């Protein structure tokens, strides 16, 4: 029933503390809660979601979490209910000892807003500790000569609870000689003293047994007892006396064990055993006193443990001196531990936001840091800094938190990542520091358009190119990364010579190579302007343009065109007049020609290809002027035919020819009469020459057919002989191969036999040539004697008739005759 009653009271106190905590939260800027100690794990502490102005489901979405410097978290967030609950059982005495108020502080971080809230939870005490004495029995020695009213110290009881739950009263069992006096120290602690009410008589009663009871003020009341054994001694009228009632000493932390703290001294004016003084601690079993040790004989107090300022910076030690007759004297030793700068600052990265975009505004939070130094005073003051060369700075937040924020604009194209070193330096002597490194990546945005290497480009290409020929390659660079740097190329559409520009040139969108879609003609256009656009794949995309001028290079694809003399359209031949009295250098006419090409391809030169009278005329190499080279003579033909060739300087050179007829006479009637007489005589001579030519051709043809008939007869005779003999092939094997001649050999033989006839109007210059047949060429090839082909004699007569002074030319290649007639 007592346990049930205690549990019900605890629950009531929890509810009361919760209501008080909620009331305090509405008034203070800090979130405060109150919860009794020893609550079960998961017990409700407070509605964090409500106090943060959030719904319970928003805690996980916004990344709300608890941040504490300790290694162990005593509270947790219930994401479903939005409440703060205990993470384990909390023992108030473990954290706060006997402090009147026990507060546990931590922070709640709202991750998405990078906002911290300070939370303070008060741990209230419950009466879970019984007042205890350090010993179960204590002996008090009192001489029988002690006068009534003398006081004797009794052991104190200790209660780890605080407030009303702590030690409240002492009570002594009823007796006739002693009473109890309870006194209080400056800190409020109560200690009992035994007061002698009636004189003692050792002989009457040498030992008195008493019970001392210590009680707290809890509900229900808890108490502890100790047995007090009073031994009555013979007379010893002097007690030891310390030289000081309070000893004060300061010592730095981390001194080695065995270091002498101080020496206490107490004297006793008695003699003998009554004057022998021994020293001891009054509270031997206290944990904090285990780091000190006292020599019972000399009073030297030494260090037996580790002094750590961060654990405890002050100790109050009660010592006592006892003589041989159990007279006691008490004194205090106040030990102040001096702080040394033995703890380097600690930097904890609570939150880190990486990567950060390069267009982040100034003041963007990069990281949330917690800085702590276990030392105190100047040794615990910490200054945090970051390199001034970096575009970041540190800002102070609540408590010991700092925010790392951007101080200048970021540019990923200049610096894509930062290795930030944060230095935490305390103010101790010597100062201690620690470096914390943060690796921050800068995320790219599409803030750079593609750029070309040149403001404009020029390309050259010869005309008459093939379709699909590569023209030029343009390249643009984008300092952005990934998709923001992926470039595609295109050509701005335009109209060129009445057609879309895209019908002339295309571009590879990936590598920027331009291609010709059709052959270019230098004579149509000599250059082409193209606007190339480079566009990245960012969002939104950025682009830039560049101008490319394509120059068409000329090729020698146009032959010279003769403008004068123009060719008559009616088939007649134009005649230029040259007087017989013309002197050398006389300008007869001028050949005028042009070339559509340019440069060297249009440089023209003139020369005579064929003339009637060599050496009579000359033509200017670059002017085309036809002049007389000498004076005319009577034997010179009246009608002079000049064949002029006009060539350019291209590679290969192209040319054109023009036939110029020059009539040598002083007047036009003279020309007509001379031409009539020449035509009459030429007709007569031509008829005679034609007659002789027909006789010559008929004779050659007769010889040819007779030769073929003989060969066929030999072939047939040999075939009949081989059929009759049967084995004639064996006998014929001894016959030389050169004696057999097939039809194909006849053709080969006849191909080497030709006639050349050359006739002119002047019979004195006509001649007929009969070359000797080349039998060697026919008979040397003996390996093909067994191959036979039918004798084919196609009839093909080709003759070309030129101007009247020249005879027609007849060529009969398959009859193996070549006839040239020049009239």
pLDDT of residue 795: 33
Lowest mean pLDDT among 25-39, 277-291, 435-449: 25-39
Instruction: Give CA–CA dist 196/177, Å, rounded.
Output: 6
Residues with Cβ within 8 Å of residue 334, at least 6 apart in sequence:
246, 247, 248, 249, 314, 315, 316, 317
Winning range, highest mean pLDDT, from 3-17, 91-105, 339-353, 769-783: 339-353
Instruction: Give CA–CA dist 75/107, Å, rounded.
Output: 11
Quick check: 459 pLDDT over 70? yes
CA 681 vs CA 661, 722, 801: distances in Å: 21, 63, 19
Report the percent of the chain where pLDDT is more than 90. Answer: 36
Quick check: 260 pLDDT over 80? yes
Nearest Cα to Cα of residue 81 among 57, 52, 45: 57
Mean pLDDT of 221-237: 85
**Ramachandran area for residue 720 (φ above 0: left; ψ -120 to 50: alpha; else beta):** alpha
3 state SS of 91? coil
pLDDT of residue 580: 86
Mean pLDDT of 592-621: 91
Nearest Cα to Cα of residue 429 among 393, 375, 469, 500: 375
Quick check: 757 pLDDT over 60? no
Instruction: Give CA–CA dist 129/159, Å, rounded.
Output: 6
Confidence tier at 234 by pLDDT (50, 70, 90): low
**Ramachandran area for residue 695 (φ above 0: left; ψ -120 to 50: alpha; else beta):** alpha
Burial class from Cβ neighbours inside 10 Å (0-12, 13-18, 19+) for residue 699 reads exposed
Query: Strand 246-252 to strand 292-294: parallel, antiparallel, or no bridges (unpaired)?
Result: unpaired
Instruction: Give CA–CA dist 399/405, Å, rounded.
Output: 18
Residues with Cβ within 8 Å of residue 244, at least 6 apart in sequence:
264, 331
- Whether 65 and 77 have beta carbons less than 8 Å apart is answered as yes
Give the alpha-carbon dihedral of 781, 783, 785, 788, to 10 degrees: -100
Find the largest Cα–Cα distance for the chain: 203
Confidence tier at 673 by pLDDT (50, 70, 90): low
Query: Strand 561-564 to strand 592-594: parallel, antiparallel, or no bridges (unpaired)?
Result: antiparallel
Residues with Cβ within 8 Å of residue 794, at least 6 apart in sequence:
814
Nearest Cα to Cα of residue 121 among 134, 108, 142, 105: 105
Instruction: Give CA–CA dist 632/640, Å, rounded.
Output: 11
Lowest mean pLDDT among 36-45, 563-572, 670-679: 670-679
Mean pLDDT of 355-379: 90
Average pLDDT, rounded, for the chain: 79
Quick check: 642 pLDDT over 70? yes
Confidence tier at 236 by pLDDT (50, 70, 90): low
pLDDT of residue 683: 54
For residue range 136-155, list pLDDT tens digits in order. Answer: 999 998 888 888 999 999 98
| DSSP letter assigned to residue 30 | S
3 state SS of 233? strand
Confidence tier at 400 by pLDDT (50, 70, 90): confident
For residue range 501-559, list pLDDT tens digits in order. Answer: 888 899 999 999 999 998 998 888 889 999 999 999 988 999 999 999 999 988 888 89
CA 141 vs CA 37, 100, 322: distances in Å: 42, 37, 11
pLDDT of residue 32: 92
Confidence tier at 158 by pLDDT (50, 70, 90): confident
pLDDT of residue 458: 93
| DSSP letter assigned to residue 615 | T
Confidence tier at 727 by pLDDT (50, 70, 90): very low
Instruction: Give CA–CA dist 93/128, Å, rounded.
Output: 10
pLDDT of residue 549: 93
Sign of CA dihedral 737, 742, 747, 750: positive
First-to-last CA distance in the chain? Answer: 158
- Whether 384 and 424 have beta carbons less than 8 Å apart is answered as yes
DSSP H or E run through 24: helix 2-27
Winning range, highest mean pLDDT, from 55-64, 101-110, 141-150, 618-627: 618-627
| DSSP letter assigned to residue 218 | S
Quick check: 675 pLDDT over 80? no
pTM of the model: 0.53
For residue range 474-506, list pLDDT tens digits in order. Answer: 999 999 888 899 999 999 988 888 889 888 899
Quick check: 814 pLDDT over 60? no
Name residue, tokens 């009531």. 12
Burial class from Cβ neighbours inside 10 Å (0-12, 13-18, 19+) for residue 58 reads middle
For residue range 69-113, list pLDDT tens digits in order. Answer: 766 788 899 988 889 999 899 888 888 877 778 888 888 888 888
Burial class from Cβ neighbours inside 10 Å (0-12, 13-18, 19+) for residue 736 reads exposed
Q: Supply 506's token pair.
A: 């295309």
Q: 192 forms bridges with which residues in the sheet? A: 182
- Whether 356 and 364 have beta carbons less than 8 Å apart is answered as yes
**Ramachandran area for residue 464 (φ above 0: left; ψ -120 to 50: alpha; else beta):** left
Choice between 768 and 599, residue whose per-residue pLDDT is larger:
599
Mean pLDDT of 237-266: 90
- Whether 29 and 117 have beta carbons less than 8 Å apart is answered as no
Choice between 548 and 722, residue whose per-residue pLDDT is larger:
548
Quick check: 118 pLDDT over 50? yes
3 state SS of 102? coil
- Whether 84 and 45 have beta carbons less than 8 Å apart is answered as yes
Mean pLDDT of 411-432: 91
Mean pLDDT of 375-391: 89
pLDDT of residue 678: 52
3 state SS of 751? helix
Choice between 670 and 545, residue whose per-residue pLDDT is larger:
545
- Whether 132 and 157 have beta carbons less than 8 Å apart is answered as yes
Lowest mean pLDDT among 22-31, 300-309, 565-574, 689-698: 22-31
pLDDT of residue 777: 34
Nearest Cα to Cα of residue 254 among 391, 398, 136, 374: 374
- Whether 491 and 532 have beta carbons less than 8 Å apart is answered as yes
At 712, give phi and psi (nearest 5°): -65, -40
């Amino acid at each position: 029933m007592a346990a049930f009653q205690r549990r019900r009271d605890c629950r009531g106190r929890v509810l009361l503390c919760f209501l008080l905590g909620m009331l305090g939260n509405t008034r203070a800027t800090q979130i405060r809660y109150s919860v009794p100690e020893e609550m079960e794990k998961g017990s409700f502490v407070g509605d964090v979601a409500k106090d943060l102005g959030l719904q319970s489901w928003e805690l996980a979405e916004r990344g709300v979490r608890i941040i504490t410097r300790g290694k162990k978290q005593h509270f947790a967030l219930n994401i479903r209910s939005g409440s703060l609950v205990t993470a384990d059982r909390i023992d108030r005495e473990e954290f706060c000892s006997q402090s009147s108020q026990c507060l546990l502080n931590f922070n709640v971080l709202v991750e998405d807003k990078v906002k911290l809230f300070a939370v303070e939870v008060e741990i209230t005490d419950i009466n879970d500790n019984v007042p205890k004495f350090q010993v179960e029995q204590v002996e008090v020695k009192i001489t029988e000569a002690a006068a009534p009213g003398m006081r004797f110290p009794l052991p104190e009881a200790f209660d780890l609870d605080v407030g009303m739950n702590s030690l409240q009263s002492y009570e002594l069992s009823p007796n006739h000689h002693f009473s109890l006096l309870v006194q209080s120290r400056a800190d409020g602690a109560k200690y009992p003293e035994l007061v002698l009410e009636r004189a003692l008589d050792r002989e009457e009663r040498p030992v008195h047994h008493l019970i001392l009871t210590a009680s707290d003020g809890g509900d229900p009341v808890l108490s502890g007892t100790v047995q007090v054994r009073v031994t009555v001694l013979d007379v010893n009228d002097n007690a030891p006396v310390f030289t000081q009632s309070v000893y004060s000493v300061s010592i730095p932390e981390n001194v080695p064990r065995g270091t002498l703290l101080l020496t206490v001294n107490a004297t006793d004016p008695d003699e003998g055993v009554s004057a022998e003084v021994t020293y001891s601690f009054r509270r031997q079993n206290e944990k904090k006193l285990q780091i000190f040790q006292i020599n019972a004989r000399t009073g030297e107090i030494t260090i037996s443990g580790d002094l750590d300022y961060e654990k405890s910076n002050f100790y109050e030690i009660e010592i006592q001196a006892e003589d041989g007759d159990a007279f006691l004297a008490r004194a205090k030793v106040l030990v102040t531990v001096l702080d040394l700068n033995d703890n380097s600052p600690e930097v904890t990265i609570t939150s880190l936001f990486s990567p950060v975009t390069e267009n982040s505004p100034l003041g963007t939070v990069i990281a949330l840091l917690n800085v702590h130094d276990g030392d105190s005073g100047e040794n615990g003051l910490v200054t945090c800094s970051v390199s001034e060369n970096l575009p970041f700075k540190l800002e102070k937040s609540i408590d010991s938190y700092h925010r790392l924020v951007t101080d200048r604009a970021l540019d990923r194209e200049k610096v894509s990542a930062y290795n930030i070193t944060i230095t935490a330096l305390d103010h101790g002597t010597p100062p201690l520091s620690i470096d914390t490194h943060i690796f921050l990546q800068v995320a790219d945005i599409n803030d750079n358009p593609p750029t070309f290497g040149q403001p404009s480009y020029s390309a050259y290409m010869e005309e008459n190119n093939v379709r699909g020929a590569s023209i030029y390659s343009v390249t643009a660079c984008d300092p952005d990364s990934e998709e923001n740097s992926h470039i595609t190329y295109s050509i701005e559409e335009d109209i060129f010579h009445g057609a879309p520009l895209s019908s002339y040139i295309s571009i590879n969108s990936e590598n920027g190579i331009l291609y010709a879609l059709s052959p270019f003609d230098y004579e149509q256009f000599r250059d082409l302007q193209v606007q190339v656009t480079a566009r990245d794949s960012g969002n939104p995309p950025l682009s830039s343009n560049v101008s490319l001028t394509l120059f068409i290079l000329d090729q020698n694809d146009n032959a010279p065109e003769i403008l004068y003399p123009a060719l008559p359209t009616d088939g007649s031949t134009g005649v230029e007049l040259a007087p017989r009295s013309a002197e050398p250098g006389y300008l007869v006419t001028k050949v005028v020609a042009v070339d559509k090409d340019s440069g060297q391809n249009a440089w023209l030169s003139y020369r005579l290809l064929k003339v009637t009278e060599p050496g009579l005329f000359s033509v200017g190499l670059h002017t085309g002027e036809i002049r007389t080279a000498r004076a005319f003579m009577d034997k010179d033909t009246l009608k002079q035919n000049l064949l002029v060739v006009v060539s350019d300087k291209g590679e290969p050179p192209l040319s054109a020819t023009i036939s110029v007829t020059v009539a040598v006479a002083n007047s036009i009637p003279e020309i007509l009469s001379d031409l009539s007489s020449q035509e009459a005589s030429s007709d007569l001579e031509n008829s005679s020459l034609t007659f002789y030519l027909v006789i010559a051709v008929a004779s050659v043809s007769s010889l040819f057919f007779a030769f073929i008939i003989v060969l066929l007869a030999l072939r047939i005779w040999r075939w009949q002989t081989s059929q009759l003999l049967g084995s004639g092939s064996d006998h014929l094997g001894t016959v030389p191969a050169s004696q057999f001649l097939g039809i194909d050999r006849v053709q080969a033989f006849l191909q080497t036999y030709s006639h050349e006839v050359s006739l002119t109007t002047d019979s004195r210059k006509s001649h007929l040539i009969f070359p000797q047949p080349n039998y060697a060429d026919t008979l040397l090839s003996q390996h093909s004697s067994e191959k036979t082909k039918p004798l084919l004699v196609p009839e093909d007569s080709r003759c070309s008739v030129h101007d009247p002074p020249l005879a027609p030319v007849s060529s009969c290649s398959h009859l193996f005759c070549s006839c040239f007639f020049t009239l």
